[in-house]
Amino acid sequence: MPSLKDIRRRITSVKKTQQITRAMRMVAAAKLRRAQEAIESARPYANRMRDTLVEVAASQGSEHPLLAVRESVRNVDYIVITSDRGLCGAFNAAVLKRSEGEIAQRQSGVDRVAIVAVGRKSSEFFARRRGGQIVARVSGIARVDIGHARDIAAAASERFLSGETDEVVLVHSEFVSTMTQRPRVVRLLPLAPEPSESPEAKAPFTIEPDAESLLRLLVPKAIEIEVFRALLDNQAGEHAARMTAMESATRNTEEMISRLTLQYNRARQAAITKELVEIVSGAEAL
Amino acid sequence: MPLSLTIVTPEGVRYEGQVERVVIPGSEGDFGVLPGHERFLSPVRIGELEVDGGGRRWAAVSDGFAEVNGDRVVLMVDSCEFAGDIDTARAERAKMRAEREIEQLRQQHDEALGFRLEEAALQRALIRLQVASKPHRPM
């Protein structure tokens, strides 16, 4: 039976933890709002770009090397995106588990699987794991901007064009809502442009200088956007997951405090009763 | 004003409205768009965008694409800042930094070029000496 003092100390300590979890929840909520805004802001650009790409690629017959599917796929790169920090529930674990499953399935059919680890949790995970060698790491992204996406996309494209890899797969967390984040696996290279909605038949564009040069500029941009989207989703998902995790942690501390308080009161009552009994029995003895 | 203009960047929609005319810095040169323009698609280079709709406004745009579709113009660019929104101090700093880097690279490049020229001169001299040491026979 813990003493009164022990229980009191315990309550104070849990209260301090609660302050931390509550503050973290609030910070995550603020960051989540910004991250959601960033997703919303990027959407019109991404949709526009995709529609244009689809139309130009269709009129051109997908001649661009970054769109060409290779007959034999021997080397595959996986870009696995996680957060840098933990304390966000099963957010990173879900992505890592999914990517591990994907890689295990794929590994038997290809010569080599390489990992591009984005986020510290991803690089820590794949450093421990055998098979699938890390070829690049990216971390320390405080706030995602298109520049980060450009670097990752450019590096992936270069490896693809030089023949170091025949396919690049992106594994990241998709931001569905504050409550739901889902791992998503998508082929980044060769890029398969998908229309955002069924395009109506239109008169062909007059393209300047010509479709081929335009495609040469358009395709790298489209790849960039795909990576950008993944980074933004990851960012929003991380904050959402942390917010939810900290919310339930705060709830747990509340529960714990009320249980401890009850215990404390009971112990106090017991001590008082014991004292009374002693006094009474002492008086009776006289 | 019958021309609808939309400017989108990865950071969001920068402009959406009705205008009379736009002049876009295309990769092949500036081009003006008036209502009723043909369906047209062109890369956009870093340059000045002119928007004419009840007074003219200018914006600094960087790489991207312009899509003209009947009376709709869509600009997809990396960035777009209207004259009043530009942080000139930041731009000045970026300018200085870039100039310095370019100067440095140019020096390195010049050295590399000089090296290649000298190497070629050396090779020519060596070959001449090598050939000169062979028997001299009249043709």
Question: Cα dist. A214→A147, A206, B130 in Å?
Answer: 21, 11, 52
Contact assignment for B43 to A217 by CB distance below 8 Å? yes
Min Cα separation A133/chain B (Å): 32
CA-wise closest residue to A153 among A205, A54, A79, A210: A79
B43 touches chain A (CB under 8 A): yes
Measured between beta carbons, the chain A residues lying within 8 angstroms of B26 are 208
Residues of A with a known catalytic role: 88
Contacts of A228 (CB under 8 A, 6+ apart): A42, A46, A144, A146, A148, A149, B10
List of chain A residues whose C-beta atoms are within 8 Å of the C-beta of residue B38: 206
Of A44, A46, A52, the CB nearest to B67: A52
Q: How many CA atoms lie within 13 A of B10 on its CB side?
A: 22
B35 near A CB under 8 A:
no
Q: Is A48 in contact with B76 (Cβ distance < 8 A)?
A: yes
Give A181→chain B minimum CA distance, Å.
Answer: 22
- In whole angstroms, give the CA distance from residue A111 to residue B67: 43
Q: Is the CB of B65 less than 8 angstroms away from the CB of A217?
A: yes
The pTM score is: 0.81
The predicted model gives B59-83 an average pLDDT of: 91
Report pLDDT digits (tens) over B2-47. 899 999 999 999 999 999 999 999 988 999 999 988 888 999 999 9
Superfamily of domain A4-25+246-280: ATP synthase, gamma subunit, helix hairpin domain (1.10.287.80)
Which A residues 223-282 touch B at CB under 8 Å?
225, 228
Does B78 contact A214 at a Cβ distance shorter than 8 Å? no
Residue in B with minimal Cα distance to A217: B43
Q: Which of A50-54, B53-57, B91-95 has the highest mean pLDDT?
A: B91-95
Residue A62 pLDDT: 53
Top residue of A41, A43, A45, A51 to mutate, by most chain B CBs within 10 Å, is: A45
Q: Provide the pLDDT confidence category of residue B114 given band limits of 50, 70 and 90.
A: confident
Q: State the Cα torsion A39-A42-A48-A50 to the nearest 10°.
A: -70
Per-residue confidence of chain A (286 residues) as pLDDT tens digits?
678 899 999 999 999 999 999 999 999 999 999 999 999 999 899 888 888 888 887 775 557 888 888 888 899 999 999 999 999 999 999 999 999 999 988 888 888 899 999 999 999 999 988 666 888 888 888 888 888 999 999 999 999 999 999 999 999 999 999 999 999 999 998 888 776 555 555 667 788 778 888 888 889 999 999 999 999 999 999 999 999 999 999 999 999 999 999 999 999 999 999 999 999 999 888 7
Is A146 in contact with B10 (Cβ distance < 8 A)? yes
Q: Which of A113, A123, A114 is nearest to A81 (CA)?
A: A123
At B137 the pLDDT is: 80
pLDDT of the residue at A136:
84
Cβ of A207 within 8 Å of Cβ of B42? The answer is: yes
- In chain A, where the domains are located: 4-25+246-280, 26-244
Which residues lie closer than 8 Å to A209 by C-beta, 6 or more apart? Answer: B27, B28, B42
* Closest chain A residue to B68, measured at CA: A205
Gap between the Cα atoms of A146 and B10, Å rounded: 7
Q: Give the Cα separation of B42 and A92 in Å (integer).
A: 41
Supply A7's token pair: 């229980």
What fold, for A26-244? Answer: Pyruvate Kinase; Chain: A, domain 1 (3.40.1380)
Q: How far is B1 from chain A (nearest CA, A)?
A: 23
Q: How many Å lie between the alpha carbon of A122 and the closest alpha carbon of chain B?
A: 26
Identify the H or E element spanning A221: helix A211-285
pLDDT at A186: 92
Q: Closest residue of A to B14, CA-based? A: A41
Distance CA A206, CA A56 (A): 10
pLDDT at A202: 63
| CA closest to B73 among chain A residues | A48
* B78 close to A (CB below 8 A): yes
Q: A206–B40: do the CB atoms touch at under 8 Å?
A: yes
The distance of B27 to chain A (nearest Cα, Å) reads 8
